[in-house]
Amino acid sequence: MRKILIIGAGQSGLQLALGLQSKGYEVTLMSNRTADEIRSGRVMSTQCMFHTALQHERDLGINFWESQAPRIEGLGVSVAAPDASRAVDWVGKLDGYAQSVDQRVKMAGWMETFAQRGGQLVIHGAAVSDLDFFASRYDLTLVSAGKGELVSMFGRDASRSPYDAPQRALSVAYVHGMGPRPEHPEFDAVRCNLVPGVGELFVMPTLTNTGRADILFWEGVPGGPLDAFQGIKDPNEHLALTLELLKRFLPWEYDRSTKVELTDANGTLAGRYAPTVRNPIGRLPSGGLVLGVADVVVANDPITGQGSNSASKCAAAYLASIVERGDQPFDAEWMQATFDRYWQTAQHVTKWTNAMLAPPPEHVLNIIGAAGQLQPVADRFANGFNNPADFENFFFDPDKANAYLASVTGQPAG
């Protein structure tokens, strides 16, 4: 059977490894950390995944935590007014529920499953020289090492990367003890809170090592008041600052956070990165080719919560392309075509995410405002998180936005 080497055991690498393994491929997976190190390590993401991405996991039978993880049935948007009241507040209903399973739980569990099923697991932080040595021994080498150093093998695609610097400072806290949103205590939702010119707070439930928890995730405009977490080493200090900023900018979220405590000492994260699209094929010093996967080739800012979704979609598309290739060589042409297939989905995510990082134009403000009165608009916006291609139909272009709102209200656009 064909031999495949996968570097990096995250959402995309593990999903691909388990998928290829189930189809009889001989898979070697190289991870820079053991399952236990991942499980007891720092949180990495908020990893909210929507229906289509979750379905790819179900299709492989690796949705091991589905019955335990909270079902996220809605997605809400609140916009803060200058006096810290709410100018906008609504929740859209998702057609299929979303879920977040702490990557520490999921990646550790999937890695153990891969090894139990006979997969070759190598614990080693791969360098380019390792890839150069190993790649010739495999039919295909996939690099799914996230935003780590190996991305240097893949050139930046400037035409698809409008930003060359981070657009948000990120800070995350996993907590127990958060109350429900009083507007909809009967169901869970991702709550997106926008503070114009300052940043965003996302709140969502997750399943972590210690059961159900909620995540408080600030995205701060660099240099602004939310860009204050870098250098904080003490997790309790990190949480205290998270709450202080909640109280100042989003008192309605603070009100349900007064009793929270961190899930664990590794339940906080701070960082930033520039959203970047890269050329998918890496050339090794001795001439061999490797194919980049998910974040390696398309890393968007998490403002739209799409990276894990995209990683799942990328793994599903690559799996199909590998299987369809049969015994033919995995050459440069095939690699480019395989990435192009994924880009059909990823281009919409990239366009929408980069748009959300910029100040919203008037027609976008109109849509977000109208969703407060028009439930179909709220629902459509919410379901766009599952299928970002739909934003092409009503979000980017002012004429399409006006025409859509007119079609919902029955009033002519104007």
Ligand X SMILES: Cc1cc2nc3c(=O)[nH]c(=O)nc-3n(C[C@H](O)[C@H](O)[C@H](O)COP(=O)(O)OP(=O)(O)OC[C@H]3O[C@@H](n4cnc5c(N)ncnc54)[C@H](O)[C@@H]3O)c2cc1C
Nearest to ligand X of 299, 370 (CB atom): 299
CB-nearer residue toward ligand X: 78 or 206 = 206
Nearer to ligand X, 101 or 198 (CB): 101
- How far is residue 14 CA from its own chain's centroid? 15
224 phi/psi in degrees, rounded to 5: -90, -175
Nearer to ligand X, 8 or 119 (CB): 8
Q: CB 214 → ligand X: shortest distance, Å?
A: 13
- The minimum distance between CB 308 and ligand X, in angstroms, equals 3
Piece of the chain touching ligand X by CB under 6 A; list 3-11, 82-90, 254-262, 350-358: 3-11
Contacts of residue 79, Cβ cutoff 8 Å, sequence gap at least 6: 86, 87, 88, 89, 193, 194, 196, 368
**Which lies closer to ligand X via its Cβ, residue 269 or residue 356?**
269
Orientation of helix 103-116 relative to helix 11-22, angle to 10°? 30
DSSP annotation of 217 = E
Using the rule CB under 6 A, which residue among 5, 13, 189, 268 binds ligand X?
Answer: 13
- DSSP annotation of 47 reads -
Distance CA 31, CA 107 (A): 11
**Least Cβ distance, residue 414 to ligand X (angstroms):** 37
Write down how long the chain is.
414
Q: Which is nearer to ligand X, 29 or 401 (by Cβ)?
A: 29
State how beta strands 26-31 and 3-7 pair.
Answer: parallel
Q: Identity (one letter) of the amino acid at 26?
A: E
Binding to ligand X (CB under 6 A) within 24-63 occurs at: 30-33, 45-49
In whole angstroms, what is the distance from residue 129 CA to residue 373 CA?
A: 58
**383 near 390, Cβ under 8 Å?**
yes
Residues 116-175 that bind ligand X (CB under 6 A): 125-126, 144-146, 148, 150, 170, 172
Judged by CB under 6 A, the stretch of 7-15, 246-254, 333-341, 374-382 that binds ligand X is 7-15
Question: Residue 235's closest CA among 172, 154, 284?
Answer: 172
Q: Minimal distance in Å, beta carbon 113 to ligand X?
A: 15
The CA angle 355-359-364, to the nearest 5 degrees, is 70
Closest to ligand X by CB, 12 or 257? 12
Residue with tokens 């996230």: 146
Q: Tell me how far apart the alpha carbons of residues 141 and 135 are, in angstroms, rounded to a whole number.
A: 6
Which CB atom, from 80 or from 126, has the smaller least distance to ligand X? 126
Which of 126, 108, 132, 137 lies closest to 26, judged by CA?
137
Smallest separation (angstroms) from ligand X to the CB of 83: 29
Does 268 sit near ligand X (CB under 6 A)?
no
> What is the nearest approach in angstroms of ligand X to the Cβ of residue 34?
11
| Residue carrying structure tokens 């968007």 | 300
- Residues 203-222, one symbol each (x = binds ligand X by CB under 6 A, - = not), give --------------------
Q: How far is the CB of 255 from ligand X (least distance, A)?
A: 23
The Cβ-side half-sphere exposure at 244, using a 13 Å CA radius, reads 10
Which among 1-9, 231-239, 242-250, 329-337 is the span making contact with ligand X, rule CB under 6 A? 1-9
Measured from the CB atom, the residue of 342 and 404 that comes closer to ligand X is: 342
182 CB contacts (<8 Å, ≥6 apart)?
A: 256
Nearer to ligand X, 30 or 94 (CB): 30
Residue 11 C-beta: closest distance to ligand X, Å? 4
Kindly tell me which of 198 and 370 has the beta carbon lying closer to ligand X.
198
Footprint (CB under 6 A) of ligand X, residues 294-323: 294-295, 302, 305-309, 311
* Number of chain residues interacting with ligand X (CB under 6 A): 35
**Two tokens at 106?**
């999921």
Other C-beta atoms closer than 10 Å to the C-beta of 247 total 15
291-326 in b/e burial notation, b at 16+ Cβ within 10 A? bbbbbbbbbbbbbbbbbbbbbbbbbbbbbebbeebe
SS3 325: helix
Site string for ligand X, 269-298 (x = CB under 6 A): x------------------------xx---
Contact residues for ligand X, defined by CB under 6 A: 7-13, 30-33, 45-49, 125-126, 144-146, 148, 150, 170, 172, 269, 294-295, 302, 305-309, 311
